[in-house]
Structure 1
């Protein structure tokens, strides 16, 4: 085999590999975003249609002073049940929250850790989201600061949580960050908490970034948007 032929084959191989790399980058940077935009809009439309029809899951009224109130309807696996807004990330930032943190779920929006508290309830309402790819929902995660508002709605109530400290970096095995009382956050007793988690570094997954918040206020959606949208 001549040197010229070897050089030609090597050049063609480099071109092929380069083309594959370019296609992969386009897929990661562009196509996953397109897929996420379509999927996310679909989840948002589903929520808004449900709320417009008055089918928000809420406790059934009861009149007996001795009977325990009925349990709220369970979140449906893989289905949206709330919207999250983070003013720090911009006026147009809005993402649906779905039940569970499976790969296919996080391709449609944010995922609620099954087994953690319900929205607004006592305990720790924990949510995961992609840092990059599939819409880059938590791209600006490191910008979160103490006092920032995290505003959610289930269609009937607005829930405003407030960030307590700058994002905390840890390893994926540190599951204590979503405990009912996440003590590494500085919380030392039962309360109504919220935890956000995402990957770190920005294009990797060797670590996790965590943000903790506490429930600051609630109000009916009929009262309009909370002031936290402007804080």
Structure 2
């Protein structure tokens, strides 16, 4: 009898310890989920918001004195040319940046009214220095905002601020603006590609066209914007792509 009772007690203790381990593991997993889905978003959004405000304050400061003209007065830069309208030239002129942004440097602000997005744009697409901070990352070998070619951007769809979570809701004709120190560029959403492979580099080419779905994209040079993110949600298996065209620009 004592031996049978001892076995039962041992089994009961084993079951109790197992139950405690399961509950502890469940709590740890729950905390990890909360950290990924709530805390990383909170921290990244705060960081991104501070960066946007810092850029705006910096841009609002008076510019340093430029080179003096013959009369001793500072030489003022020429105004930016107006972008072509519906009846203008196909490819509007755009000023080129005189210097490239430093790696991981935030240097522009992206705004997409349709999905209520305001986010800083930083150079490069590294996770630690750019994407995980809630920033939108610029593919460094693509054109800059307003330049001929393809201004290509990447952003998280889930966690770490998830700036591109809702870009699947963008529709043709939606407005996207990119503000820099010198100008505000407006792009208009034109096309999208619901799913392609991460290796499909054609979507960020100077003339963007999918290497996989060859009917998706463009065939002529222009002034393009590309947004890329992971799809489906909570997965990095495929990429979702949205394309736009430069439709206007104005000096800041």
TM-score range, shorter chain: 0.7 to 0.9
Kept in 2: contact 1:79–1:98 (CA 8 A): yes
Structure 2: distance between partners of 1:107 and 1:12: 34
Deviations 1:156-191 (A, max 9, x none): 211111111234311111111111111234311111
Kept in 2: contact 1:142–1:167 (CA 8 A): no
Partner of 1:209: 240
Partner of 2:221: 190
Partner of 1:135: 161
Kept in 2: contact 1:39–1:107 (CA 8 A): no
Kept in 1: contact 2:176–2:188 (CA 8 A): yes
Structure 2: distance between partners of 1:160 and 1:167: 21
Structure 2: distance between partners of 1:27 and 1:135: 12
Root-mean-square deviation (CA, aligned residues, Å) is: 2.1
Structure 2: distance between partners of 1:197 and 1:70: 23
TM-score (norm 1): 0.84
Partner of 2:3: none
Structure 2: distance between partners of 1:214 and 1:43: 26
2:120 to 79, 89, 96: 96
Q: Which moved more, 1:161-170 or 1:198-207?
A: 161-170
Structure 2: gaps of 5 or more residues = 1-6, 65-75, 79-94, 211-215
Kept in 2: contact 1:163–1:212 (CA 8 A): yes
| 2:77 counterpart of 1:51 | no
Structure 2: distance between partners of 1:159 and 1:46: 20
- Stretches of 4+ aligned residues off by more than 4 angstroms: none
Structure 1: gaps of 5 or more residues = 63-68, 222-231
Q: Which moved more, 1:210-219 or 1:163-172?
A: 163-172
Partner of 1:107: 132
Structure 2: distance between partners of 1:70 and 1:5: 73
Note the C-alpha offset of 1:61: 5.2
Note the C-alpha offset of 1:70: 9.0
| 2:32 counterpart of 1:8 | no
Note the C-alpha offset of 1:71: 6.2
Structure 2: distance between partners of 1:42 and 1:159: 22
Note the C-alpha offset of 1:131: 0.3
